[in-house]
Amino acid sequence: MRDELPIWLHNFDSEQFLRDVNHHLVVALQPIVEANTGVVVAHEALMRGFDDLGFPDPGALLDGAAARKRLFEVDCCVIAKAIAARARFPKAEGGALFLNLDGRNLQHWRALRTFLELRCEQLGLSAQDLCIELSEAHQPLAPEAFEEAVRGLRAAGLQIAIDDFGTGVSGMQMLYQAAPDFIKIDKFFIKSMPSDAKKRLLVGSIVDLAHTLGSRVIAEGVETVEQLICCREANCDLIQGYLIARPATDPSELATGYAERVHAGAAAAESGESLMIEKFIEEVPTLQENTPLAVLFDQLTVNPGRNVYPVLDRDGLPRGAVRESDVKPLLHSPFGRDLARNRSIGMTIGDFVRPIPTLESSTPIAQRLELIADHAEDGVVVTKALRYLGYMSSGSLLKLANEVRLQQAAAQNPLTRLPGNNAIAGFLERCRQHDSLPRLVAYIDIDHFKAFNDRYGFEMGDRAILILASILKSLERDHAAFVGHIGGDDFFLGAEGAACDALDKIMQTIGARFRHVAESLYSPEDRAAGFIEARARDGTQTRFPLLSCTVAALRLEPGYRPQTTLALTTRLTALKSLARQQKASLQMEACV
């Protein structure tokens, strides 16, 4: 380690090192905003000035401080500067302050908690305004000691976040032990999401898991509109990155909201699912973290059938729930109520809060319902733009799941289970409005399908339709395409952003892939002949080639906005007719 330090530090006094750190280091704040609205929820404090001390990055400076046995003091120095910067915001602005803590300092959690409480008291802040970011790097504590440290910090009102989630080998263990309020997905996953289907799948899975455990998800390093759209489609709650704002050392340079930045990715309008959720929300009293425990005892007495109470922070953000089962031993002990009312002991709701699954009303809920079904015996907290909207018991959740399934069945094609015309119309309208991105829409149908269906019967006809549906579903899975079933042998394919470039090339292969598989549906004789004989629509006996498909596609370049969705579908229909006339399997046109 000594050889890795700047030369000036090799024989330098530790006290002088701390004085220089205090003199040169500054803190920059970067906003963390709601993914759909751009409202600022928090700021992360980032270290700046380390290069003036001869270090290439913050990690190297912290390693240097550790080598000189001054790591805790350096962390506290940065944290103190960050809290002072946060205190400069007006009281109603700024949100939470995210503070990075070197894992080697977690063993000093008691001293850290005392330090934070004193600094907050001096500057008129609360511990609830702070969130401690933990990562796998330099995490020396045993599992039991780690859990004790997290419990100790949380008991002071501090929020907990796991940083750089997904890049280490023990992230799942930390997720289980810390039960964090926030999970920050590392930019390694975010950077290439638009072009990497596997990363989109992984991010979506992480988000679903986090929501099931009651944590909110922050996507780090969002720099492009395409990345923003992918994060929103994966249901990330919060966004952080250069697309929103660069870190600023002067808090006055930061805005209170960034709606214009997130709206560049055109957030989806409120869905019918959101309104459906609100029908099943129940009237349940909520409690604050700092509410005396005696208030809960009174509620349990007044409402003997109610055993779960949502808990919110002072800004109305959910922090979890308190269960009757967790306080039952104290409630029914001889002196339990007296202890709960004893102000000198100071027992509060926050001492008994545990995570509870959350259901964000503005995101698609079908898959979420499946994931939380096995973890929702205590119900779920429903949020809207991260704010508490209400509570739903397990019974109401079951009713909601049944209604969602009924709606899905009505909206999907019963054969292929693909979205139907309403979803296709919604996608076309979104394409019409999102004119800042490249977009692609395509009409696909099977050639000579009626003759094949008449000759081989509807069961074989259904198999042909399912073959094409399967090919198109693979594009949805691997390239973030939207696939819909118009009806019969007609399909719709669409994409936005970076996915358009991949589909440009892949669409040329759809016809060949379909022909190759569809040949297996014919008898050996018809396959060898290369055609079948059947009656045409005018009743004459005609030779029909083996099944193939025609693709008519429009690429809408950035800046192009059609007047109506009807204009798009009319143009696609004309392109399909042109392809048929020219006997082309693919007819593509660009709109600029």
Amino acid at 165: F
Which tokens go with 137?
């790097």
Residue with the two structure tokens 């000036």: 8
Q: Is the dihedral of CA 558, 560, 561, 567 positive or negative?
A: negative
* Structure confidence at residue 357 (pLDDT): 85
DSSP state of 282: B
Residue 7 confidence (pLDDT): 45
Strand blocks (E) in 374-451: 380-384, 387-392, 439-447
Give the pair of three-digit tokens for residue 424: 């296709």
Q: Look up the CATH number of the domain holding residue 317.
A: 3.10.580.10
358 touches 379 (CB < 8 A): no
Q: What is the CA radius of gyration of the chain?
A: 29
Provide the token pair at 147.
């859990």
Residue matched to tokens 């629509």: 537
Residue 331 lies in a domain: yes
Pick the last residue of a domain from 252, 267, 282.
267
pLDDT in tens, 508-525: 889 889 999 999 999 999
Q: Among 233, 267, 301, which residue terminates a domain?
A: 267
* Domain assignment of residue 102, given as a range: 2-267
Q: What SS3 state is found at 394? A: helix
Separation of alpha carbons 435 and 449, rounded Å: 36
Interval 163-207: pLDDT, tens: 988 776 667 888 888 889 999 999 999 988 887 878 888 898 898
Residues 230 and 299 in one domain: no
Same domain, yes or no: 391 and 468 = no
Backbone angles phi and psi of 444, in degrees to 5: -130, 130
Tell whether 7 is covered by a domain: yes
In a domain, 415, yes or no: no
Strand boundaries in 425-507, DSSP class E: 439-447, 482-487, 490-496
Q: Which residue stretches of the chain have pLDDT < 50?
A: 1-3, 7-11, 267-270
Residue at 327 is within a domain: yes
Indicate whether 414 belongs to any domain. no
Question: 259 and 278: one domain?
Answer: no
Strand positions, DSSP E, 357-481: 358-360, 380-384, 387-392, 439-447
Distance CA 381, CA 321 (A): 9
Find the farthest-apart pair of alpha carbons in the chain and give their distance in angstroms, rounded. 100
Domain boundary among 348, 378, 409: 409
Position 368 scores a pLDDT of 65
Whether 236 and 297 map to the same domain: the answer is: no
Query: β-strand 541-545 against 159-165: which pairing, if any?
Result: unpaired
Specify if 416 maps to a domain.
Answer: no
Q: Are residues 496 and 380 in the same domain?
A: no
Whether residue 114 is contained in a domain is answered as yes
82 occurs within a structural domain = yes
If asked whether residues 427 and 500 sit together in one domain, one would say yes
In this structure, the answer to whether residues 430 and 405 fall within a common structural domain is no
Could you tell me the CATH number of the domain that includes residue 459? Answer: 3.30.70.270
d(CA 470, CA 462): 12
Task: Using alpha carbons, list the distances in angstroms from residue 118 to 112, 113, 124, 462.
Answer: 10, 9, 10, 71
Q: How many domains does the chain have?
A: 3
One domain, residues 444 and 501: yes
Q: Is residue 259 domain-shared with residue 280, that is, in the same domain?
A: no
DSSP structure class, residue 57: S
Q: Return d(Cα 57, Cα 205) in angstroms, integer.
A: 32
Give the three-class secondary structure for 99: strand
How far apart, in whole angstroms, are the C-alpha atoms of residue 525 and residue 300? 78
* Domain CATH for 227: 3.20.20.450
Kindly write down the DSSP assignment for every residue of 106-140, as one continuous string: GGGHHHHHHHHHHHHHHHT--GGGEEEEE-STT--
Query: For residues 340 and 378, is the Cβ–Cβ distance under 8 A?
Result: no
> Do residues 238 and 35 lie in contact, with contact meaning Cβ atoms separated by under 8 Å?
yes
Residues 251 and 288 in one domain: no
Residues 433 and 551 in one domain: yes
Same domain, 452 and 522: yes
